[in-house]
Amino acid sequence: MASVREVLHILLNFIQTVSIWDILDILIVAYLIYRIITVVRKTSSASVIKGIILLLAVMWLSSLLNLNVINYLLGQTMKLGVLVLIVLFQPELRRFLEQMGSSNFRMVFARKVKIGYMEACISNTVAACMEMSRKRMGALIVFEREIALVDHIKTGTKLDAILTAELLKSIFFPKAPLHDGAVIVRDGRISAAACMLPMSSNINISRDLGMRHRSGIGMSEVSDAVVVIVSEETGSISVAIDGMLKRHLAHETFEKLLRNELLAEESRPDTRTKLRNRFKVKK
Ligand SMILES: Nc1ncnc2c1ncn2[C@@H]1O[C@H](COP(=O)(O)OP(=O)(O)OP(=O)(O)O)[C@@H](O)[C@H]1O
């Protein structure tokens, strides 16, 4: 009983020493660790991280067992390794900083598009895609979300135009100068056209899918963008999110999916999660 009282006493003393700054400190570190884990999970860097953990474990064991030479060599390797890691993880680090920057920026300035404006953008996209699908016109449309797609926008021709069905159809008209590549939509406006997207390196993607679909999936793997793909060959409409492709979408499902993914998330979180779970990867 006395020991319980002692523990409680120590605990109470400890709590009294914790300031609001300590809590803030812990929260910031926890958030940073969370963001790092999310970036690592989305990339192939997970195996490298496992390797580093193994190396650290061997180092710890070697110091425990007094294996001085191994410990010294591993210590030196680790020092050099920091530089190697920065070079190796340059894209991941960059994406991480980009994610931090873009989401914080948006949080601070509350860059939320008016729902009505976004609804018009979705209706116009659906109308254009349905017609392009009927006419077998290929299209690739990327909707930027939290992660800024600055580098991808730079690869294309800047437009910054209101998204209308007519504009989308004229961009993707086969003989139009900007039909090759992707349109990137930011906050309901066409930011750029003829943009180059990164190819997916997923070897499990169905062989009947060509470059348009692979680059659409690739874009959704490296960002949180919603990518709409209209096949030139079959006219089928697909949507790529988080590296997963939902294929052969009918009018209603397509519109519902876009609305759930692109309209203010806080207004319909449950529906969005439900929809994500309902769709299976069809590759
Ligand atoms: N990296 C890329 N970024 C953006 N667009 C691309 C990229 N690679 C290919 N495309 C687009 O895809 C078109 C070629 O599509 P391809 O026929 O190989 O793909 P697909 O997935 O079979 O599509 P479809 O069913 O429409 O034929 C190109 O003309 C170009 O517009």
* ipTM value: 0.93
Local confidence band at 89 (pLDDT 50, 70, 90 cut-offs): confident
Pocket test for ligand 1, best of 212, 227, 231, 234 (most atoms within 8 A of CB): 212
pLDDT at 269 over 70: no
Helix, strand, or coil (residue 18): coil
List residues near ligand 1 (CB under 6 A): 138, 140, 180-182, 196-197, 199, 209-213, 215, 231-233
How far is ligand 1, taken at its centre, from the CA of residue 198, in Å? 12
How far is ligand 1, taken at its centre, from the CA of residue 231, in Å? 9
CB neighbour list of residue 192: distance below 8 Å, 6 or more residues apart = 153, 156, 157, 158, 159, 183, 184
- The 10 Å Cβ neighbour count of residue 187 is 14
Q: Which atom of ligand 1 is nearest to the CA of 196?
A: 3
pLDDT at 183 over 80: yes
How far is ligand 1, taken at its centre, from the CA of residue 117, in Å? 29
Q: Which domains does the chain have, with CATH numbers?
A: 2-108 (no CATH), 115-265 (3.40.1700.10)
Question: What confidence score (pLDDT) does residue 1 get?
Answer: 60
Atom 5 (ligand 1) nearest CA: 181
Question: What confidence score (pLDDT) does residue 105 get?
Answer: 53
pTM recorded for the entire structure = 0.64
Candidates 208, 217, 180; CA nearest to 196 is 180
Local confidence band at 262 (pLDDT 50, 70, 90 cut-offs): very high
Residues of 7-16 as b/e, b for ≥16 C-beta within 10 angstroms?
Answer: eeeeeeeeee
226-254 mean pLDDT: 96
Where is pLDDT greater, at 62 or 44? 62
Local confidence band at 7 (pLDDT 50, 70, 90 cut-offs): confident
Residue pLDDT, tens place only, 127-156:
999 999 999 999 999 999 888 898 899 999
- Cα 246 to its chain centre, rounded Å, is 17
Local confidence band at 27 (pLDDT 50, 70, 90 cut-offs): confident
Local confidence band at 92 (pLDDT 50, 70, 90 cut-offs): low
Q: What gap in Å lies between CA 122 and CA 138, rounded to an integer?
A: 18
253-270 mean pLDDT: 76
Which span out of 37-51, 76-90, 253-267 was modeled with the highest average pLDDT? 253-267
Atom 15 (ligand 1) nearest CA: 212
Q: What percent of the chain has pLDDT over 90?
A: 44
